[in-house]
A and B are shown apart, each in its own frame.
Chain A
Amino acid sequence: MIGSLNPLVRSPMQVVNDAGVKETRYLDFKFNRVYQDKEISRVLVSVSDATDAVKLEEKVQHEREQSDLQLEMLGSILKADPQLMADFIGNTKNRNQNINEKLKEPAKVQSDFYNKLSFIFREVHGLKGDASSLGLQGFVAIAENLEHTLKDLQGKSKLVGEDFLPLTVSLEELYNLTQAIGDLSQRIAGGSNEGGRPVVSTNAEPVKNQLSKFVGEIAERNGKQVDFSCIGMDNVSLNIDTKTNLRELAIQLLRNAVVHGIETPNLRSSHHKLATGHLRIEMAEKNNSVFMSVEDDGAGIDLEKIRQKLLEKGMYSADEVADMDSKTLIQHIFLSGFSTRDQSDEDSGRGIGMDIVHERVKEMGGKLSIATRTGAYTRFTIVVPKKY
């Protein structure tokens, strides 16, 4: 009974060690009664140092947590199409390198520092989208952490090199995680490989499957019902660069459509629409060009909200804003930092989705057009030269 009453098991104690430094040791106190003539004459206390056992357990626990993270990623890797995973890993390695090169660039004046932040933000945001679409939570977590830090820094009135230290530390985490996932992927590929044959995917439409899953997850997270059709995304043969770029753009546009475009089932019903919204992405080629369109039957682009945001940001006066026609208003959603959504989360916010899309299409030598009717639909069409 005395044993079970004893609370002093593995008690952390501050002890001054031989070197004169205070440290925490975990001590076990054991109590034993000493009887003399059937009476308790003394209690013997023995003290033993259990620190090593405690430290070992902490280490094992930590390693267990690391394993869990690895297992989670393993799950995602197994579910994903090997080609998509390989693309992701290749892309992410490039992104990591881009971010590092940007950090390495000399910076003297304040604008140099802010430009670095913007550049890194775009890479990180792209990474977050890619990782999210493959269910790689480990990467999403690091990316979100980075976005948070970047936003804080962007808000500072003056920047110094030292401010970027947390970014470099997170970047190292990314490098390590990318390495880990690359190794895991290879081992899996090696495992299901007999006699060195290349692994053939049994999935005939990997992009369609990935995007369907992605849309499904976002719809659920945002309480929307979406009927998704995907046409031609796996058929058109493209070089890796174009394929990657268009896929990233598709992800941005699809996310916007579910989050901003399609209304909640209740709202839709109250507007005499079917509770389930429709979302369609289509890709086709014609005359050396690739066409990709994303169309939803949602709320259309809310011109009033754009007007409001422009007023809020102090960019125009009330009169100027009232005079703007729909075409001019729509052009403004391509501005960096513009978002009509108030908070940011994994799915959106921070107002950079559309400006990335616009810039990227321009970089590809292509065109982006929008057709919309308030309350009815929105359609984005991208045309890029095929040889890009």
Chain B
Amino acid sequence: MPTIMIVDDSNVIRNRITRGSENIELEVVATAGNGKDAVKLYDLLRPDLVTMDLTMPEMDGLECIQGITNINEDANILVVSALSDKATGIRALEYGARGFIYKPFSDEDLFSALKELLED
């Protein structure tokens, strides 16, 4: 089963993405509430997929993406964020994210995005 790590400062969102991941047979190996923890956990566990929020305390999502791609430039990161300006979207991809879905998202939005990332 492919593995996934969920990064978001909201517990409610972490739980939701967890439930969603389990529904499409992904194993949730870790969750993190800030970028710092996420980078450490990534290094330790090397999950196949990562979902990444951008607005987080201590270390924000973009810095975290940098941290993770430094460890593994092929890291499969899906940004899940409310920040809807074009510049942020472009920057996230430049930093190394492989996909982007906007909050508020439906379960379908999440599933298709995750599936797409797995296929690549």
Decide if A and B touch, CB cutoff 8 A: yes
Chain A residues close to B by CB (< 8 Å): 19-21
Contacts of B87 in A (CB 8 A): 19-21
Chain B residues close to A by CB (< 8 Å): 86-87, 90-91, 94
Can you pick out 9 interface pairs between chain A and chain B where the beta carbons lie within 8 Å of each other? A19-B87, A19-B91, A20-B86, A20-B87, A20-B90, A20-B91, A20-B94, A21-B86, A21-B87
Contacts of B94 in A (CB 8 A): 20
- Considering the complex of A and B, which 5 residue pairs feature the smallest CB-CB distances, nearest first? A20-B90, A19-B87, A21-B87, A20-B87, A20-B91
Contacts of B86 in A (CB 8 A): 20-21
How near does chain A come to B100, taking the closest CB pair, in angstroms? 14
| A259–B25 CA distance with the chains assembled, in angstroms | 80
| A195–B87 CA distance with the chains assembled, in angstroms | 60
Closest Cβ neighbor of B94 among chain A residues? A20
Contacts of A19 in B (CB 8 A): 87, 91
How near does chain B come to A61, taking the closest CB pair, in angstroms? 29
| A20–B86 CA distance with the chains assembled, in angstroms | 9
How near does chain B come to A189, taking the closest CB pair, in angstroms? 49
| A21–B91 CA distance with the chains assembled, in angstroms | 11
Q: Does more than half of chain A's interface fall in helix, strand or loop, or is it mixed?
A: loop
| A19–B94 CA distance with the chains assembled, in angstroms | 11
How near does chain A come to B117, taking the closest CB pair, in angstroms? 23
| A21–B87 CA distance with the chains assembled, in angstroms | 6
How near does chain A come to B60, taking the closest CB pair, in angstroms? 15
How near does chain B come to A121, taking the closest CB pair, in angstroms? 38
| A19–B85 CA distance with the chains assembled, in angstroms | 11
| A80–B87 CA distance with the chains assembled, in angstroms | 54
Closest Cβ neighbor of A19 among chain B residues? B87
Contacts of A21 in B (CB 8 A): 86-87
| A19–B83 CA distance with the chains assembled, in angstroms | 15
| A20–B90 CA distance with the chains assembled, in angstroms | 8
Contacts of B91 in A (CB 8 A): 19-20
| A1–B91 CA distance with the chains assembled, in angstroms | 46
Closest Cβ neighbor of A21 among chain B residues? B87
| A228–B94 CA distance with the chains assembled, in angstroms | 77
| A323–B77 CA distance with the chains assembled, in angstroms | 84
How near does chain A come to B95, taking the closest CB pair, in angstroms? 12
| A44–B106 CA distance with the chains assembled, in angstroms | 58
| A20–B91 CA distance with the chains assembled, in angstroms | 8
How near does chain A come to B93, taking the closest CB pair, in angstroms? 10
Known A19-B87, A20-B91; further 7 A-B contacts with Cβ < 8 A:
A19-B91, A20-B86, A20-B87, A20-B90, A20-B94, A21-B86, A21-B87
| A238–B82 CA distance with the chains assembled, in angstroms | 60
How near does chain A come to B21, taking the closest CB pair, in angstroms? 31
How near does chain A come to B89, taking the closest CB pair, in angstroms? 9
Contacts of B90 in A (CB 8 A): 20
| A19–B90 CA distance with the chains assembled, in angstroms | 9
| A21–B86 CA distance with the chains assembled, in angstroms | 8
How near does chain B come to A41, taking the closest CB pair, in angstroms? 42
| A21–B90 CA distance with the chains assembled, in angstroms | 10
How near does chain B come to A24, taking the closest CB pair, in angstroms? 16
| A312–B91 CA distance with the chains assembled, in angstroms | 64
Closest Cβ neighbor of A20 among chain B residues? B90
How near does chain B come to A203, taking the closest CB pair, in angstroms? 58
| A20–B87 CA distance with the chains assembled, in angstroms | 6
| A19–B91 CA distance with the chains assembled, in angstroms | 7
| A140–B62 CA distance with the chains assembled, in angstroms | 51
| A21–B94 CA distance with the chains assembled, in angstroms | 14
| A165–B87 CA distance with the chains assembled, in angstroms | 29
| A19–B86 CA distance with the chains assembled, in angstroms | 10
| A20–B89 CA distance with the chains assembled, in angstroms | 10
How near does chain A come to B67, taking the closest CB pair, in angstroms? 21
Contacts of A20 in B (CB 8 A): 86-87, 90-91, 94
| A195–B90 CA distance with the chains assembled, in angstroms | 65
How near does chain B come to A60, taking the closest CB pair, in angstroms? 29
How near does chain B come to A154, taking the closest CB pair, in angstroms? 35
| A19–B62 CA distance with the chains assembled, in angstroms | 13
Closest Cβ neighbor of A17 among chain B residues? B87
How near does chain B come to A21, taking the closest CB pair, in angstroms? 5
| A221–B94 CA distance with the chains assembled, in angstroms | 65
How near does chain A come to B79, taking the closest CB pair, in angstroms? 16
